[in-house]
Amino acid sequence: MHARVSTYEGDAEELVRAFDSVAGPLDEIDGFRKAYFLVDRSGGRAISITLWDSEEALEASVQRANELREEASSSAGASIASVDHYEVALEID
């Protein structure tokens, strides 16, 4: 499993609303497994973590994920601070 971790700066409420609006299209991307959206309401920061079945699925999703991320952050009036890719080395339930 692989993950894309993106960080944002902006109004947390607007970011939650904007990212909720792109949840459907995100779920339709091949190899998508799950997403988490974390917010620091008082600090005006957020993190999205998307999980992918494989490195190939993660790489194949780059263009569409970039479009959805830009759409959501733009409509929220927020900025994208970083986008990084990781291998999930350990999962603990």
Q: Which residues of 47-82 are buried (b: 16+ CB within 10 A; e: fewer)?
A: ebebbbeeeebbeebeeebeebbeebbeebebebee
C-alpha 29/C-alpha 58 separation (Å) is 10
Fold of 2-87: Alpha-Beta Plaits (3.30.70)
Please state the pTM of the whole predicted model. 0.93
Q: Which amino acid is at 10?
A: G
Print pLDDT tens along the chain (93 aa): 999 999 999 999 999 999 999 999 999 999 999 999 999 999 999 999 999 999 999 999 999 999 999 999 999 999 999 999 999 999 998
